[in-house]
Amino acid sequence: MDKKYMLFDLDGTLTDPQEGITNSVAYALEQYGIHMEDRSSLNKFIGPPLKDSFMEYYGFTEDRAEEAVWKYREYFNEDGIFENKVYPGIPQMLQHLKDQGKILIVATSKPTVYAKRILERFELSQYFADVQGSEMDGRRTKKEEVISYALEQNQITDNAQAVMIGDREHDIIGAKKCGLDSIGVLFGYGSREEMEGCGAGQIVDTVQMLEDLLSR
């Protein structure tokens, strides 16, 4: 795994956003008369683009799904954004990789403005050369679009020198579409079956295993 550029997903890979995301989704659904007592049933919203998830899991039309995303943001922007925590070992791993001369980049489906606020709040910004995500108006929400944009913005032309690290199939599929190797992590919200099914290049169980692999 001798890569110069390392693209990291945010939710479920660097931080555990379960509380904030599920509370925000529950808040949005409540506006449509859908009451969710069991927040864990909303874990499926962690990772994929929100609009797609509202359409897939609740049968919302495209217009209603877009509206639901804005309802979600009403809660997320004030409270949910920081109902989050960094996975143990992540800062140490990032420092180690940076010390080795690796170029670290965040590539997330979350709006860039939110991703930057989260990284700054949890003191992770210092490790990353760049942060790229979606736009608030709905542009660049598909993972392959985010990855492609991150490669372009960082003038990475040799894709063999880059790897995408994430916890859901969208990260792995997006990497494939952009010609990148991928690593699936199991300490987030994707299962081994999901990672194997979408063809992750390698799969790791823990942050330490990820650090060992990336440091080789």
Cβ-in-10-Å burial (0-12, 13-18, 19+) of 209 comes to middle
8 Å CB contact between 172 and 199: yes
Residue 18, CA atoms < 13 Å, CB-side half-sphere? 13
Closest by CA to 25, choosing from 80, 84, 86, 85, is 80
> What six digits make up the tokens of 163?
């790897």
- Tell me if residue 9 is catalytic: yes
Q: Which of 9, 16, 167, 171 is catalytic?
A: 9
Of the chain, the end-to-end C-alpha distance in Å amounts to: 6
Closest by CA to 149, choosing from 167, 181, 174, is 174
How much is the CA Rg of the chain, to the nearest whole Å?
Answer: 16
Residue type, 149: Y
In whole angstroms, give the CA distance from residue 71 to residue 135: 16
**Active-site positions?**
9
